[in-house]
Amino acid sequence: MLDMGQDRPIDGSGAPGADDTRVEVQPPAQWVLDLIEASPIASVVSDPRLADNPLIAINQAFTDLTGYSEEECVGRNCRFLAGSGTEPWLTDKIRQGVREHKPVLVEILNYKKDGTPFRNAVLVAPIYDDDDELLYFLGSQVEVDDDQPNMGMARRERAAEMLKTLSPRQLEVTTLVASGLRNKEVAARLGLSEKTVKMHRGLVMEKLNLKTSADLVRIAVEAGI
C-alpha cells in the first residue's frame, strides 16, 4: 500500500527510510487495534484527519511482510513502500479511492525494507463513525507470486464463493460493513437493533472462518461488493 494522503510526489528510491516525513500520532482506541491485530493478513490503519494521512496502527503480519517495525511506520504515510518501479497509474487509482472515500483494490509493485520488490494486492477502504463521518482508512496487503499471474482472479473467485454461503440478511450486513459503516449506522440503514447487527456479524465471521473485521472487509471487496 502507498500514498494514502495528499497528491505528493513519491520518493521512488525503494530504499529503507525513503520519505521519512513523520507526524506525531496518539495511540489509537482499542477497537481500532482490534480491527487488525489478530488478522493473518498484513494490515494497517491510517488517520486522514491528520496531516498526510499517517499510519496509526500496523499488525505483526505487516511487519513480517515488509520488514518494517511499528516504530518505523507509525506517524508516516504508507508511501514508503513505493519505489522506482511502482506504477504511477495504480498509485493514482489508490489516491482517487482515498479522495472519494471508496474502497479500492489494486495489484501494485511495492518494496520491502531491504529493497526487495514484490507484487502487492492492496486494499484501501474507509471506516466511518456512527454519524457517518470518515474516521480512518483500513489498508491490507497480500503478496502476489509473479509465478501465479491469475492469483488475483483466484482470490476474487474464492471470495465470491464464500459470500454465496451467506443468508440475504448476512450479505446486507456484510455489504454495509465493507463500505466502512459501524454497527450503529448499519442498524439504522437496515432498521435493525445494534444487537441484531452484532449477531449477524458474528455469524458471518464464524461461517467464513475470519478473525477480524479487516479480513471481512477484504473478502467483501475482493468479491466485488
Mark the binding-site residues, compressed into ranges.
77-79, 95, 110, 141
φ/ψ (deg, to 5) at 6? -75, 165
Contact present, 201 and 173 (Cβ < 8 Å): yes
Residues belonging to the binding site for FMN are 77-79, 95, 110, 141
Contact present, 128 and 134 (Cβ < 8 Å): yes
Residue with cell 463521518: 133
What is the distance between the alpha carbons of residues 210 and 186, in angstroms, rounded to a whole number? 20
Contact present, 102 and 124 (Cβ < 8 Å): no
Q: If we measure between CA atoms, which residue out of 141, 150, 151 comes closest to residue 59?
A: 141
Distance from chain centroid for Cα 30? 17
Element (H, E) at 57: strand 55-58
Element (H, E) at 108: strand 104-111
Q: Which residues contact 213 (CB under 8 A, 6 or more apart)?
A: 34, 35, 177, 201
Residue with cell 489508490: 94
